Amino acid sequence: MVAVASPEIIPPPADLPEAPTRAEVIEALQPLTVIVQACGTGPDPAVVDVLFAGSGRVTTATVRPPYAGTPTGSCIARSVRAARVGPFARPIFRVSYPFSMH
């Protein structure tokens, strides 16, 4: 029988903030507006549900209608996945962010 070590769970450092601040989220997402707008234009904003992992990386970016399921929506989601915030203590942080499309 081979002994398999269970993965070690390491708690986050105590000095990490609980979650990113509103300013940090805006700082990470607002500069992407020009890139998102390059995906297409329209009268409605592109609202994106963004899920940040505790590492600060975006794990999912889900575009809401009317761009959901369209090539424009796929481009927007790919663009938003490039966003980063600083690490934080919570395992995940969700935010919805509206991008102007005109």
Q: What is the pTM (predicted TM-score) of this model?
A: 0.84
pLDDT in tens, 59-93: 999 999 999 999 999 999 999 999 999 999 999 99
pLDDT in tens, 3-46: 666 666 656 567 899 999 999 999 999 999 999 999 999 999 99
Bridge partners, 88 (sequence order): none
Q: How far apart are CA 87 and CA 11, in angstroms?
A: 13
For the chain, the domains span 22-99
Q: How far apart are CA 6 and CA 63, in angstroms?
A: 37
- One-letter identity of residue 36: V
- Residue 68's closest CA among 40, 94, 33, 31? 40
